[in-house]
Structure formats: C-alpha cells, structure tokens
Amino acid sequence: MNSNDSFAISATGMHLEKLRANVASMNLANAHTIAGPDGNGYKPRHVVAVIQNAPDFNSYVTGGSLVAPSISVEETGAKSKMVLQPDHPYANLNGYITYPGVDNATEMMTMMSAIRSYEANVAAFNFAKSMAIKALDIGGNS
C-alpha cells in the first residue's frame, strides 16, 4: 500500500462523512416543513454506501486494487406525521396537516457521528502525510 492509497481512503471517508452530515442537516432543516395542498412534502433521506465485491485485506496488501464504495442518497421511507391544526390554511378536511417523518434525535446522532468520523479521517490523512514527509526526509538524507 503506498501513501497515495492512504490519501485516497481518507479522502473517500471524508467525502462520505461530509455527505452524511449534509443530509442530516437537510433533514433537520426540513423537519417542520409541511406538505402543500397537493399532499407532497419533504421526504427524509439518508446516505447509503455499499462496497461490491470487496477484496480481502491480504490481497489488497499484495497488490490488489482500492475499492471505493458506491454512495447514494435515498429516501428513508419514514411515515409522515399528522398533526391536528384545523385553523392552518393547508389543513385537510379533517383539520390535519402533514409533517415529514424526521426524528430529530436520530438526525442529531447521525450528524455527531459523521462529524467525529470526519475528524478521524482527517487525522488519518494528516498521519499518512507526515509519514510520507518523513520518508522523503529519510530518503533525502541517505
């Protein structure tokens, strides 16, 4: 494994965690938006990362290729919340309005986890960078 692979792994991790934090932020920002008269409202989303046919670590160390995950943002399928507010202009005939099924606690935990994972990837990137610099220093001194 060369240092470029280490940089690529950390960069992929940072990209994924930044996307997770952004999607959680978007869910939180839209938690109190209501569905319009057409009934269509915000649908909560989450990030899905899948690695297809990942090689085992030993084959990677002996020259296997780096496998990046396939990353997508998909709807969670959470059910909308119906709240009784008969005086609201967008209330249905029964007096209910529809809010997206966003769980604030789950989104906050997702955001905190993504931020911590991002920080860990930054630390790994910086460590790999310092190792590469030390290797260049050692090579230049001989």
Tens of pLDDT, residue by residue over 65-102, are 667 788 999 999 999 999 999 999 888 889 999 999 99
Query: What per-residue confidence (pLDDT) applies to 56?
Result: 64
Quick one: what percent of the chain has pLDDT higher than 90? Answer: 58
Task: Please enumerate in sequence order all residues whose Cβ is within 8 A of that of 85, keeping only pairs 6 or more positions apart, or say none.
Answer: 91, 95, 96, 97
Taking the C-alpha atoms of residue 5 and residue 25, their distance in angstroms, rounded to an integer, is 30
| Domain encompassing residue 117 | 3-141
Distance CA 81, CA 100 (A): 6
Phi, psi of 20 (to 5 degrees): -60, -45
Count up the domains in the chain and report the number.
1
The pTM assigned to this predicted structure is: 0.82
- What pLDDT, on the 0 to 100 scale, is given for residue 104? 95
- With bands split at pLDDT 50, 70 and 90, how would you rate the model's confidence at 1? low
